[in-house]
């Protein structure tokens, strides 16, 4: 699939048959937010995913359906290809390591910044645009430049505080990380609490660090 010469798909192949999938960017944003919500039970996430993406839910094997959903959500890539790309996206700039695979944004928490970024760079009002294909939205999202406040914020979140930074640089980055920190999920908070408890009370960390 090449966005320069091909029309992005509005159907997915499941069990040898084509099924219409909701291809507007809003559907995939809802899908991403759904699977990031630790308060929603797994079986509910599965049912709601089908409702989000399909006008008519396919009568097919659930694993095949979710393979198709994953392929569409990942913009034509398989999960294996995504992980490989994430590994390639990691890079080092001196001792400062930035990983684009870490979670540096939230469609929920950063909605105003994302809205402003698309308006500033592309003159697109995301609340008024009738239709924008998810794959096109993702391409534009990835190409946002650092003149946007949103991209600067993602940079603060992703940048590692390194030993060779000046005191002023470290203080500034810590402040920005604190100001723009993403909310911690209930599951992440439990993990952090367990790790803190283990460190404070000399407990075994092996199970917590796997």
Residue 35: inside a domain = yes
127 is in which domain, residue-wise? 90-179
Q: What is the pLDDT of residues 140-166, one digit of tens each?
A: 999 999 999 999 999 999 999 999 999
Could you read off the pLDDT of 177-204 as tens digits, one per residue?
A: 999 999 876 565 566 556 556 666 666 6
Rounded (5°) CA angle 186-52-185: 10
Spell out the residues 6+ positions from residue 185 whose beta carbon is closer than 8 angstroms to its own. Answer: 36, 38
pLDDT of residue 27: 98
Asked if residue 209 is part of any domain, the answer here is no
Taking the C-alpha atoms of residue 13 and residue 11, their distance in angstroms, rounded to an integer, is 7
pLDDT at 39 over 70: yes
pTM (two decimals): 0.80
Judgement on whether residues 27 and 99 belong to the same structural domain of the protein: no
Q: Which two tokens stand for residue 28?
A: 């995939």
Considering the domain architecture, whether residues 96 and 124 belong to the same structural domain is answered as yes
Within 13 Å, how many C-alpha atoms sit on residue 88's CB side?
A: 6
Q: Is residue 203 part of a domain?
A: no
- Please state the separation of Cα 158 from the chain's center in Å: 13
Helix (H, G, I), strand (E, B) or coil at 81: helix
Residues 21, 50, single domain; the answer is: yes
Residues 108 and 66 in one domain: no
């Amino acid at each position: 699939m090449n966005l320069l010469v091909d029309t992005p798909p509005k159907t997915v192949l499941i069990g040898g048959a084509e099924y219409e999938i909701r291809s507007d960017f809003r559907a995939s944003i809802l899908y991403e937010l759904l699977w990031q919500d630790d308060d929603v039970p797994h079986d509910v996430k599965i049912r709601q995913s089908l409702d989000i993406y399909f006008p008519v839910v396919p009568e097919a094997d659930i694993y095949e359906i979710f393979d198709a959903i994953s392929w569409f959500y990942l913009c034509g890539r398989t999960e294996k290809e995504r992980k490989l790309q994430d590994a390639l996206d990691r890079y080092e700039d001196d001792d400062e390591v930035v990983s684009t695979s870490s979670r540096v944004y939230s469609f929920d928490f950063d909605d105003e910044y994302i809205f402003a970024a698309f308006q500033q760079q592309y003159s697109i009002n995301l609340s008024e645009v009738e239709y924008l294909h998810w794959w096109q939205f993702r391409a534009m999202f990835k190409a946002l430049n650092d003149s946007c406040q949103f991209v600067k914020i993602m940079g603060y979140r992703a940048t590692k505080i390194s030993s060779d930074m000046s005191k002023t640089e470290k203080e500034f980055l810590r402040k920005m990380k604190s100001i723009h920190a993403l909310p911690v999920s209930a599951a992440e908070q439990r993990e952090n609490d367990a790790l803190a408890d283990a460190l404070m009370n000399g407990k075994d960390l092996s199970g917590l660090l796997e």
